[in-house]
């Protein structure tokens, strides 16, 4: 199955007119893509009827419904006429596009699957056959689509960001974090496993989100990371700060600077002068403006990650995203 945060719909192989039509179908609209097999049983056809009855709900939120099936033209005509379907049904009897959509089982069966895609063609939710053999409730899909209005969206990556990995990596991870936050430290450990296991296939971007009211040492720790970055050692200090957890007093930060080989005099002067306060504050302001309120917050290819924060869970999600490319 294509996974949330995987390749954009427009990235599917346009090996036919059908592929090109589907790749451009959503345009600037949200897209509900229903994949289903030929000879669909009555229960599944009833599921298609339910989506027909919900077209207004999707249209009201800027959405479009499209079906893709390996049925031939005659079956599509009969299905449209007998069930009064008014959303487009695209026939793919050869199954090439359905295979690219990762809904064809090893034995050749097309697995009923619904994808919800945002305006950029990114999968935001997947409804798989194992759980929804006769398609999900359209109202639940519409609610998820509606929630995209309120979902936080990270600002575009710029040269001002701290980045680890190639800019054209298949998977981009943007983390908003606080050095005094224990949950952030747990996510950091998982991200280190991702870096180790996936190498150049992943780009990691760090942004500061210190909760100054509850974590009084987090702001200065973030400024220490920026001061280390000014000497080309951001990531070394980044790792050291997470290892330290609550040990982020001024003298301790200076000791870490010596440990990682910084010019300690310069580091201390910049720390005491609050030279990098504005850089940290700018990250904080941009996060709040984007609707990101608490650390740790992680985005995978622009989609909020809501899974577990262990290395195993995060790596499993990365594998799933990579397999969808």
- Please report whether residue 44 resides in a domain: yes
Whole-angstrom CA distances from 164 to 19, 92, 204, 259, 304 are: 35, 41, 5, 21, 19
Shared domain check, 122 and 167 = no
Shared domain check, 61 and 14 = yes
Shared domain check, 171 and 135 = no
Q: In terms of residue numbers, what domain contains 202?
A: 162-323
Residues in Cβ contact with 117 at an 8 Å cutoff, skipping those fewer than 6 apart: 9, 26, 30, 31, 32, 33, 123, 124
Q: What is the pLDDT along the chain (325 residues), one digit of tens a residue?
A: 787 877 666 555 554 555 555 555 555 578 899 999 999 999 999 999 999 999 999 999 888 999 999 999 999 999 999 999 999 999 999 988 899 888 999 999 999 999 998 887 788 899 999 999 999 999 999 999 988 877 888 999 999 999 999 999 999 999 999 999 999 999 999 999 999 999 999 999 999 999 999 999 999 999 999 999 999 999 999 999 999 988 999 999 999 999 999 999 999 999 999 999 999 999 999 999 999 999 999 999 988 998 888 999 999 999 988 886 6
Shared domain check, 132 and 20 = yes
Q: What is the pLDDT of residues 258-299, one digit of tens each?
A: 999 999 999 999 999 999 999 999 999 999 999 999 999 999
pLDDT of 169: 94
Sheet containing 30-36: order of strands = 89-91, 63-69, 30-36, 113-117, 123-127
Shared domain check, 131 and 190 = no
pLDDT of 11: 53
CA atoms of 70 and 109, how far apart (whole Å): 10
Q: Would you say 165 and 135 are in contact if contact means Cβ atoms under 8 Å apart?
A: no
Shared domain check, 312 and 188 = yes
């Amino acid at each position: 199955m294509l996974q949330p945060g995987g390749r954009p719909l427009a990235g599917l192989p346009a090996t036919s007119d059908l592929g090109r039509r589907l790749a451009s179908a959503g345009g600037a609209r949200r897209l509900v893509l229903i994949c289903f097999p030929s000879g669909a049983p009555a229960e599944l056809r009833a599921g298609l009827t339910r989506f027909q009855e919900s077209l207004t709900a999707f249209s009201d939120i800027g959405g479009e419904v499209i079906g893709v099936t390996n049925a031939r033209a005659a079956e599509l005509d009969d299905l449209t006429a007998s069930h009064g379907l008014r959303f487009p049904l695209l026939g793919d009897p050869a199954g090439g596009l359905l295979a690219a959509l990762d809904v064809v089982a090893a034995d050749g069966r097309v697995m009923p699957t619904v994808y919800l895609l945002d305006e950029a063609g990114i999968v935001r939710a997947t409804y798989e056959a194992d759980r929804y053999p006769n398609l999900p409730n359209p109202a639940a899909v519409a609610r998820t689509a509606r929630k995209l209005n309120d979902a936080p969206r990270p600002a575009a990556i710029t040269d001002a960001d701290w980045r680890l990995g190639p800019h054209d990596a298949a998977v981009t991870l943007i983390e908003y974090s606080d050095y005094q936050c224990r949950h952030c430290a747990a996510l950091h450990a998982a991200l280190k496993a991702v870096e180790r296991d996936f190498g150049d296939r992943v780009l990691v971007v760090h942004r500061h989100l210190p909760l100054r009211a509850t974590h009084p040492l987090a702001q200065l720790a973030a400024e220490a990371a920026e001061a280390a970055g000014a000497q080309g050692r951001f990531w070394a200090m980044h790792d050291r700060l997470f290892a330290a957890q609550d040990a982020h007093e001024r003298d301790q930060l200076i000791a870490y600077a010596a440990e990682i080989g910084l010019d300690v005099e310069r580091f201390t002067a910049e720390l005491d002068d609050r030279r990098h306060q504005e850089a940290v504050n700018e990250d904080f302001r941009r996060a709040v403006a984007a609707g990101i309120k608490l650390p740790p917050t992680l985005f995978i290819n622009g989609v909020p990650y809501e899974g577990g924060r262990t290395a195993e869970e995060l790596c499993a999600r990365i594998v799933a995203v990579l397999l969808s490319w």
